[in-house]
Amino acid sequence: VTPTAYDFIIIGSGAGGGRVAYELSRKGARCLILEAGRSYSPDELPLGELETLSRLYWGGGLELSDDASVVFTRGKCVGGSSLVNQALLNRFDDAVWSHWREQSGVWWLDAAHMNGHYDVVTSQIAHQTLGARQFNHNSRLLADALVKRGFVAKGLVRAHRDCDGFNCMTCLGGCGRQSKQSSAVTTVAWALKQGADIEDGCFVEGIEVLADQVRVCCLKDGTRRRYTCNELVLAAGAIGTTSILLRSGFHEKLPMIGKNFFCHPQYLSCADMGTTIDAHLGHFQGVYSHDQRLRDIGIKIESSFLPPALFAQLVGGSGASLMSLVRRYRFCAALEICIRDDVPGRIRVDRRGRTTISKRLSKPDLAKLGVGRRIADELFDTMGARSVHHSNKAFSVHPMGGCALGSGPDNGVVDEEFSLIGYKRIHVADVSLFPGAPGTNPSLTVMALAHKAGEMILSRHQ
Amino acid sequence: MISSAFLANAEISALERVGDIYIPGDATYPSFSALGCMEHVDLLLESTEPADLKRLRMLLRFLGVAPTSMIRWMIRRGENAYSQPGVLAGLFREFEFGLGGLVKSLYFSGKRGIDYRGRTPPEIIGYSGSISNEA
């Protein structure tokens, strides 16, 4: 690697950025991580729901699609979404890899090949498969109901350490105990130990390709800054990475930038059980439908719940109707219906540089929601629920795609070596690479892809 | 009087008025304005994009002079717009998600005004999802 200001700049510090920064810096490359959000030590993490939403999430946790049909929640902090999500780890199945390989033409999108990367990543991060002993009351109810209705229920795999008996609802605001294995306490911390630098609160406005370098233009504390590097790795997530490339004008040569955007729309359903459930205590996400029939339909059902402010927002209503639901907060069994969306949306940037996201649920996706709600009704009925409420507000914690892997500019944005097509000095190593919606929690695969990206980028310098 | 670095007095009053329509209070729960959670509105607005803040302020200036019946209708229209197509439905969804989200985030956040002496809504609910270092 040629000495310069930096060998690599990595934009984003989440599951992808942290991993690729660690892989590059541990091999001796001089790396700089740029993160739009702030860095928080465990004792600095905001404790209240208001401060959490405002300080750790883009748009205060209320980032809407252009027609306000979906709300996106994504982390804006060192650690990115890995700091504020539930750190659920799932490997993709053969069906996803096969579909992606066919769609992209990238040969290594294959379970056998990717298992090696999954193995490395999971061997380095503490994780636990939640079992009946760890389920909270809500997860126990759902697990039993799924089995009674003939579905397969499985405990979620969560990247955490020594977390049994704690209330992980607060993990949505980062984990002050450092139990959750976010990139902030794993790969980013490891990269910094290897000598990488980090600039937090640094919003990337655009990038420029120079003769033999890449320049990154940023805004930090109201001041414009420029950094140069030999090579750039974009890992700012589906919305962040795509927006940076669009603002920088790359869509003129790569028209697929911003297309193929998916988001796994999720809907909360809850039921009044007439007795205390306290779904907010313990592991509030514990079990999911590991069932091929539901997978074939394109839905997943998972135990879930929310703190009061988010709960009130999602259940909707006003006045007496809102308060009648809020009063039953501790009596609620709850689940989320997660849809594998088949029809993509699109990320755009307007003339003022603002990102807009077009994402509407197609008729087939709405049909999946209908099936999911019917199954949820059956599950709640099996539990003995008194009444059921289905939220009509879609939220997304999995924005994906926008810079899909592909074999050329007609079907993708990034080539099989993780380079922006036609630009060997610019790489992408995050969830924006996804050619489609997997219907599975994406964070482990983001880490595995970033691990592979680090290897491939380094292999070109050996 | 509540002060804000982002909202003018008339806009604060309008938001309190909308908040009381969303959450008028009852024998158990305080109304939105009685709780005094508006004193913390800047915590939410500090992360709001300037363009979004500008639109919010315009909306609040309108709501400040709109009849209560019209605001109630807009809220109901917003709540029912989630399954509807079209530009107008989108605007009402944005209204409900944005303004309703602001009101509910403030009210259920556990924040209270300096003069409020009662329990906060999360305390009334019995929410206890706090960080603990002891299992």
| Nearest CB to A64; choose among B21, B97, B122 | B97
Record: contact A50-B106, CB cut-off 8 A:
yes
What is the predicted pLDDT for the residue at B133?
A: 41
**Which residues, given as ranges, of chain A have pLDDT below 50?**
1-3
Q: Which B residues, 42 through 61, put their C-beta within 8 Å of a C-beta on chain A?
A: 43-44, 46-49, 51-52
Q: Report residue B134's pLDDT band, with 50, 70 and 90 as the boundaries.
A: very low
**Percent of chain A scored above 90 by pLDDT?**
88
The ipTM assigned to this model is: 0.94
- d(CA A19, CA A418) in angstroms, rounded, equals 14
Chain A contacts of B43, Cβ < 8 Å?
50-51, 54
**Percent of chain B scored above 90 by pLDDT?**
76
What is the predicted pLDDT for the residue at A187?
A: 98
Please list, in sequence order, all residues whose beta carbon lies within 8 angstroms of the beta carbon of residue A247, skipping any fewer than 6 positions away: A205, A206, A349, A353
Record: contact A62-B133, CB cut-off 8 A:
no
Record: contact A318-B79, CB cut-off 8 A:
yes
Record: contact B135-A164, CB cut-off 8 A:
yes
Record: contact B82-A48, CB cut-off 8 A:
no
When scoring A69, A331, A373, A395 by the number of chain B Cβ atoms within 10 A, the one with the most, hence best to mutate, is A69
Contact B23, A322 (CB under 8 A): yes
pLDDT > 70? residue B129: no
- A443-459 and A111-124 helices cross at what angle (nearest 10)? 100
Q: How many CB pairs below 8 Å do chains A and B form together?
A: 139
| Tens-place pLDDT, residues A363-374 | 999 999 999 999
Mean pLDDT of chain B: 91
Mean pLDDT of B78-94: 87
Q: Nearest CA to A444 among A121, A94, A84, A191?
A: A121
Chain B contacts of A48, Cβ < 8 Å?
109-111
When scoring B32, B97, B111, B112 by the number of chain A Cβ atoms within 10 A, the one with the most, hence best to mutate, is B97
- d(CA A128, CA A156) in angstroms, rounded, equals 8
What is the predicted pLDDT for the residue at A461?
A: 83
Contact A405, A412 (CB under 8 A): yes
| Tens-place pLDDT, residues B47-79 | 888 888 999 999 999 999 999 999 999 999 998
- d(CA A393, CA A68) in angstroms, rounded, equals 9
Please give the residue of chain A at the shortest CA–CA distance from B108.
A309
Q: Give, in order, the Cα–Cα distances in Å from A371 to each of A87, A297, A337, A384, B127.
A: 27, 9, 10, 20, 32
Distance of CA A159 to the CA centre of its chain: 14
Using a CB–CB cutoff of 8 Å, tell me whether B69 touches chain A: no
Using a CB–CB cutoff of 8 Å, tell me whether B87 touches chain A: yes
Residue type, A224: R
Please give the residue of chain A at the shortest CA–CA distance from B44.
A54
What is the predicted pLDDT for the residue at A3?
A: 42
Number of DSSP helices (H) and strands (E) in chain B, helices first: 8, 0
Could you tell me the pTM of the whole model?
0.95
What is the predicted pLDDT for the residue at A322?
A: 95
Q: In a 10 Å sphere around its CB, with 0-12 CB exposed, 13-18 middle and 19+ buried, how is residue A184 labelled?
A: buried
What is the predicted pLDDT for the residue at B83?
A: 76
A219 vs chain B: nearest CA distance in angstroms?
15
| Tens-place pLDDT, residues A203-236 | 999 999 999 999 999 999 999 999 999 999 999 9
What is the predicted pLDDT for the residue at A1?
A: 42
Record: contact A54-B46, CB cut-off 8 A:
yes
C-alpha Rg value of chain B to the nearest Å: 16
Q: Report residue B124's pLDDT band, with 50, 70 and 90 as the boundaries.
A: very high
